[in-house]
Amino acid sequence: MTDDAELIQATLAGQADAFGELVRKYQDRLFHTMVHVAGSREEAEDVVQEAFVQSFIKLPTFKSNSAFYTWLYRIAFNTCISRRRKKRPEASVETHQQNTGVEPQDTGEPVSGNLERQERAEQVHSALARLSEEHRTVLVLREMEGFCYETIAQMLDLPVGTVRSRLHRARSEMRGLLKGLLQQPS
């Protein structure tokens, strides 16, 4: 039983382990996306957990006109926004980098190559953290998660044209930020 529709039907029929399969199937993917949206690993963990609880409660209202992950992502995204509005945290770029724990994997290259790659990754994450929430979200969904414009529009409840416009602006802003960061002396 691996098809989402079958797992949803089984869950609605009272088989809690079927929902556990959905959780196992999507938890890592949702978590990695939410780290970029939420800005920290701890907040992403809380958001993902809350999103799965809410999706379990709201599962009877799920309409199969979209993919389960799209629906789940929308719940997680809304949860993240709600939590952010309640908290209004102040975070620096350094805090964001520290909280996300993003480090390059050892590829066996010389230390200088690893340091350069790590520095570039930090610059990209720094630039990403400086984007507005709406631009960062669209950019993460398209470039890191690989969603098509229509799916992003559905997830964020936006017209496709707005998604395209925000993505264009986000890419342009990232180019400007990265150009500025890369030109700064170390």
pTM as predicted: 0.61
In this prediction, what percent of the chain has a pLDDT beyond 70?
A: 81
Domain spans of the chain, in order of start: 4-87, 104-183
**Residue pair 147/155 in contact by the 8 Å Cβ criterion:** yes
Average pLDDT of the chain? 82
* pLDDT reading at 126 higher than 90: no
Alpha helices for the chain (secondary structure H): 4-12, 16-38, 41-58, 68-87, 93-100, 111-130, 133-139, 149-156, 160-183
User: Which pLDDT does position 104 carry in this prediction?
Assistant: 41
User: Which pLDDT does position 40 carry in this prediction?
Assistant: 84
104-183 CATH choice from 3.40.50.300, 3.40.50.970, 1.10.10.10, 3.40.50.2000: 1.10.10.10
pLDDT, tens digit, for every residue of 41-77? 899 999 999 999 999 999 999 988 788 998 999 899 8
Mean pLDDT of 94-104: 58
Radius of gyration of the chain from its Cα atoms, rounded to whole angstroms? 18
Distance CA 51, CA 53 (A): 5
pLDDT, tens digit, for every residue of 25-44? 999 999 998 988 887 889 99
**CATH top-level class of 4-87:** mainly alpha
Q: For 101, left (φ over 0), alpha (ψ -120 to 50), or beta? A: left
Q: Which amino acid is at 174?
A: M
* pLDDT reading at 89 higher than 50: no
